[in-house]
Amino acid sequence: MTISKISVRDGFVVGDISHRLFGSFVEHMGSTIYSGIYEPEHPESNEEGFRLDVMKYIQALNLGVIRYPGGNFTSGYNWLDTIGPKEERPRKIDLAWRGIEPNTFGIHEFFSWLQLTNAEAIFTVNLGTKGIDEARNIVEYCNYPAGSYWSDLRRTNGQEEPFNIKLWCLGNELDGPWQIGTKTAYEYGRLANEAAKVMKLVDDSIETILVGSSTPRLASYPEWDRIALEEAYENVDYLALHNYIDKYDEDDLTRPPKNERDDTPTYLAKSYRFDRQIEEIIATCDYVKGYLRSDKTMYLAFDEWNVHSQPEKSHNNFEVGSPIDWCYFTMEDTLLFGSLGLAIVRHADRVKIACQSLLVNTIPLILTDKNGQAWRNPTYFVMEQLANHAKGRVLTSQFDGPTYDCEKITDVPVVDHVVVENEDALVLFMVNRSSEEQTVVMDHDFHLAQEGLHTSLKSPNLLDKNLRETPDKIVPTEEKISLETQKQLTISVPSYSWNMVRIEKV
């Protein structure tokens, strides 16, 4: 057994954690909406068609934000198709995901559903096939109180009070060649600037999110971010980051892999890519700030992030709710997912919004079968613990412990960690990337209770999954721990495990 030492001190702080840092994403993609969160025929759905077996799991997550309606879907999205009587809404082809969109779940249904989650909305406007006028009109429809054409149409459609959406994405992944309406960085930056300007003229309380590079895998990264920011810096509030990590290092995650799978040490080390991406984009933002001689600091919205795995249900084109990337996550995937989450928390001083992608049925936290049951991928439990307990501020920490090298990455800490302080407790999150149990000693100067709670997520086999037949194969276990001395906490960290240690302050 090896020993790692983590040192923290009161008052040495990285930054405050935004309540928007632990969010998720629902898109009109595959079976995320239809038979995921919305299935009127399901026996556990309410009168509005919302699956309450799924909602029970969503509510326990305590999410800060939920992004909607996409995603790639939004670049062909016509919001007017989604309002008014359901029987009068058009049934259309969705070109982004090659499905049929019945529009029976639209803007009003989303906000009715959202009220059950207690999360805040992030709404994405179409800057692919639409533009400035559409962006202005949807803000007026959603946020203007009354007495104008679009606000009165909302009221006619049954919503007297405004939806009051405060966060708006200015399109989605418009640097990507896969995107409908792909643009150059300059074209996009000019369009986004004018859209943000007119949207804020309708409602000056809103915040806007500029599309950044879709992935560091594109050759245009991070030059795209620089150019778009130079055009829109003063009229936007956040720059978006997207990234998905898989075992294959393929350029196109939508196709079956051709490369060999990474071994476990390499795969688990790949969370460094999130740290590096965040730091590179911060540097890009700060360069533009200096170049423009601006007093404004640009914050980041990591509004699509996740591990990625190959689908286990087939997709049929031009059907309603045919699955896309419906998959189980293994215990191995879950460990990487935990480290990706920690990378985001570690940069809480600049990352103020983050959305795990996606909530249900597409590389999901929650799985469902049509007309069947709902259950949770093991990644769900990591997200649940972060969203409920990573509150307050991130502490500066010093780590002294074993590291390892692999073919692609060197000097990887065996124990990945973040320490959070809130009003009531000190919380230590850890991922053990090793096949051996680790002893972690946390040295601190806080006044803590003599006992705390250690929650672990682990499984005997790294390829274990929560199947529909065994939905609770991988679930957290808890044990009480005691402080041997007031200033040191010693924890035994199981091999290949996600861990949360929480001790009350006194």
Angle at 236 between CA 232 and CA 242, to 5 degrees: 95
Short-list 376, 386, 299, 298, CA closest to 341 = 386
Give the HSE-up count for residue 477: Cα atoms under 13 Å, Cβ half-sphere: 10
- What sign has the CA pseudo-torsion 169, 196, 237, 151? negative
Give the HSE-up count for residue 254: Cα atoms under 13 Å, Cβ half-sphere: 7
CA distance 371 to 350: 42
Short-list 214, 309, 325, 305, CA closest to 261 = 309
CA distance 372 to 461: 27
Whole-Å CA distances, 205 to 143, 202, 450:
10, 9, 46
Q: Please provide residue 56's backbone torsions phi and psi, each rounded to the nearest 5 degrees.
A: -60, -45
CA distance 391 to 258: 41
Identified catalytic residue from 304, 332, 384, 421: 304
Which residues, in sequence order, are bridge partners of residue 299? 238
Q: Tokens 């590291």 label which residue?
A: 403
Identified catalytic residue from 39, 109, 120, 173: 173
- Residue 190's SS3 state is helix
Q: Using an 8 Å Cβ cutoff, are 277 and 213 in contact?
A: no
Is 140 designated active site? Answer: no
Is 109 designated active site? Answer: no
CA distance 479 to 425: 17
CA distance 363 to 105: 21
3-state helix, strand, coil in the chain (%, to 5): 25, 30, 45
Q: Please provide residue 19's backbone torsions phi and psi, each rounded to the nearest 5 degrees.
A: -65, -10
CA distance 447 to 98: 57
Would you please indicate which residues are annotated as catalytic (active-site) residues?
Answer: 173, 304
